[in-house]
Amino acid sequence: MSSSNNSSLYSYYLKNVSIYGGIPIFIGGCIGGILNIIVLISLKTFRENSCAFYLTMISFVNIGHLLTGLLHRILVSGFDIDLTLISSSFCKLFQYSLQVCALLSITCLCLATIDQYFATCSHYRWREWSNIKISRRLTKLFLIIWLIHGIPCLIYFDLNKLISTKKFRCMIRNKKFSNYFIHGYSAILTGYLPIFVTILFGLLSYYNIKCLSSSRISNIRRELDKQLTTMIVVLDIFNIIALMPYPIILIIRSISSIIEDPFPAEKINFISNLTVFFYYLYFASPFYIFICVSERFRRQLIYVLFKIHLERWRRRRMISILILPH
């Protein structure tokens, strides 16, 4: 089979994966993120909890990341529409927002895991670190850090004309920054480092939960900590599965760029594009993980949707009907 036939076949498969796989992930992720926000904001139990604050921030940022990153990927791979080609400025801002959203979401997951470790500690002094004020300050701090960290994207990303296809693409123009983007940002900051942090503090939180029955904590707080720890630990496990393949393939892809034979390079490029959709499952999955692993969260969802918001809508409708004749 010729190289051109291989390329067209891979493009056909990638197009189908984008349409039939990417679109459901995008729609399901946005709906799940909105439902997460509704539940976490509506209940006072969650509004006053620092770990729940991180989960709320994750939901907001994940929706933003899906609306930018995944939607762009679906349009490019599935419909051959690249919005980053509109202008050089749009290319730079797109990559900047993509990086900030990804880093902030993963950072909030790490902070939520660490927060649950402190919340489930038996010592009171350690539990004091699980605080809503501290969580807000840390979120603001890391937001500023990642906003500054993303400035090189505004400098080195630009529209470049590819020699092979003679088409423009939004890509990095500086070789040193390209190496950092692959090995520093993609592999370490959004790959191995958050995986290590979530594994370590997830295991410590799980160990602490087993000792909660003997600690002097109220039953309401104990049940909430058990619920949040279960949700966070399972999300951490899924985080490993979803985030690990992409940086590995990205590094292999950068190495394979020196290979002269186009067939293995095309194959690696195809696998790389597939792992991107798997990577976006991390941003689309939290709500569905919470629903599956926490019976209490399922009850809270039903209560919020039907007892709070539906009843509130009915009351407003009744009031408007009674006032309308006058």
Q: Which fold has domain 1-313?
A: Rhopdopsin 7-helix transmembrane proteins (1.20.1070)
Tokens 């300050």 appear where? 137
Express each pLDDT in 62-114 by its tens digit: 999 999 999 999 999 888 899 899 899 999 999 999 999 999 999 999 999 99
Q: What is the pLDDT of residue 210?
A: 78
Name which residue leads in pLDDT, 212 or 301: 301
DSSP sequence for 93-117 = HHHHHHHHHHHHHHHHHHHHHHHHH
- What does the pLDDT look like over 121-171, one tens digit per residue? 878 888 889 999 999 999 999 999 999 999 999 999 999 887 767 788 899
Least confident of 2-11, 19-28, 259-268, 308-317: 259-268
**What is this structure's pTM?**
0.91
Burial environment of residue 87 by CB neighbours within 10 A (0 to 12, 13 to 18, 19 or more): exposed
Residue of 307, 308, 289 whose CA lies nearest to 297:
289
All structural domains of the chain with their residue ranges: 1-313
Report helix angle 193-210 to 88-119, nearest 10: 20
User: To which residue do tokens 């709320």 refer?
Assistant: 56
Q: Is the pLDDT of residue 1 over 60?
A: no
